Amino acid sequence: MKLVEITRGRYTSDETVNITVQLTRILNKEPVVVNKDVPGFIVNRVLFRVMLEACREVVQEGIKIIDLDAMARNVLGLPMGPFELLDYIGLDTSLFIVKAMTERGGFKAHPCPLLEELVSKGKLGVKSGEGFYKYPGPGQYVKPKVLPEQGLELDPVRLMAPPAINELAWLVREGVATVEDTDKSVKLGLNYPWGLSEFADEAGIDNIVDALTQLKGVSGWEEYEPDPLLTNYVKEGRLGRKSGRGGFREYPEVEFRRYEEIMLRIDPPGAWIILNKPDKLNVLTPKMADEIVNALRSVEDDPRVRVVVITGSGRAFCVGADINQFQNATPMQMFKAMRHYHSMTLEIEYYTKPVIVAINGYALGGGLEIAMACDIRVASEDALLGQPEINLGIIPGAGGTQRLTRLTNLGTSKELILTGKQVSAKAALEYGIVNRVVPRHALEYEVMRWVKELVSKPPLTLMLAKYAINYGYEAPPIWSALSNEASLFGVAISTKDAQEGVRAFLEKRRPRFTGE
């Protein structure tokens, strides 16, 4: 364990602290200074916030323990899930720590009935051979097995962000610890792959506050009250990477380019195209379509950008075309307007980099048509999707009649287009219209996970794979599509990235792709 928490007492001098810091470094350890003697110091305060939230989700929401642990490992990248770690620490030890922190005061928390029940039965975790999991014998630890796809549907932001980030805000606001020392504590003391401030700014401070508010409403527990530091950050517009100013740090590498109806945010390794007419629910116009195309082309050759994300500002992704343009329009005027929309959707579909859409609310008419042209579609659970044009006496005109059929099937496509009905994100997932549905407060975090996943792949090969899939899907004779696939495979295997990928596989290491 590299971490050492050095805690000041009420009368501790600066000289004593400095000498202790020096001694710690001489011992080849990494010190952090806890400026006030609070229960749990840094690591245990953060750790048991997460543990208690995990317990609440299991008890109150019926989530399976193994699924929650799987999510912690598969989604958050943690070395252990919360219940697995409790078993490893010892359930009696963990219960003692929680009681000691709450009894001393300054740590508001509700007890975990699962923990108390198991301890009362002598099931203390690994050391007794059974706790939340069963082991071969006392002291014989075996890591619980989880499948790669297990727990992916659970909410990582709710588990980690509200309790842990709220605790970070309290520690900083009360002057107990710095942001840097808190991040160092969780990385070295808990083996988290990221610091809490990094997680907060990536998920979005506003989303953290929303998740806390929801939890406070559901549970009524005081510990879920958003810390004033977080609510002040939201008021100041310090929302994280997406605003270029985080709650806990600045992001000078984030660049903003403002158009009339959209905004482009270059946030390496991604670029975010944000439909930016929130007061009109991001209604689609030919100008917006042209600006989306211009934004895509402006970053196509930018080496900083490997993935593009399209989303909407405010409470809607896009509610479709501006109805005003249909009044007294001639057939030729409408034909030209549709050309703008077709050019945009084809630009997205055949773009040379992966395009993800984050559907944050309504995606209707032209909004859904934009989304369907993207490669990966992630929707918030409160999103509504549909092609309501039939209710206006018209039909979808930006590709809806074609792409909806390709994504779903002939019957489902006709049902949605002929009735004009809107469907929930959950139904859209079942129909195959979207790839993933997550709570609204977890949307940005989920999209960032997709960005990181795609960025880890060779960029040229991604482009070739995308073209092979799209062309083959459109080409009626399979032999033609297979011929195209073989040609693109030949191009892919000739790249330096392919050579590196094969070499890395044989050498059993992670590949280092360069885009050559």
Active site residue ranges: 369, 389
How far apart, in whole angstroms, are the C-alpha atoms of residue 436 and residue 426? 9
Task: Report the length, in residues, of the chain.
Answer: 516
How far apart, in whole angstroms, are the C-alpha atoms of residue 88 and residue 126? 6
Q: Encoding tokens for residue 456?
A: 């880890």
Q: What would you report as the CA-atom Rg of the chain, rounded to the nearest whole angstrom?
A: 26
Within 10 angstroms of residue 119's Cβ, the number of other Cβ atoms is 20
Type of residue found at 351 = Y
Indicate the angle between helix axes 205-219 and 43-61, nearest 10 degrees. 50
Residue 275, burial from CB neighbour count under 10 angstroms (0-12, 13-18, 19+) = buried
**CA pseudo-torsion sign 499, 500, 502, 503:** positive
Residue 27, burial from CB neighbour count under 10 angstroms (0-12, 13-18, 19+) = exposed
3-state secondary structure 38-94: CCCCCHHHHHHHHHHHHHHHHHHHCCCHHHHHHHHHHCCCCCCCHHHHHHHHCHHHH
C-beta separation of 421 from 446 below 8 A:
no
C-beta separation of 123 from 131 below 8 A:
yes
How far apart, in whole angstroms, are the C-alpha atoms of residue 431 and residue 413? 9
Q: What angle do CA 264, 423, 202 make, to 5 degrees?
A: 35
Within 10 angstroms of residue 497's Cβ, the number of other Cβ atoms is 20
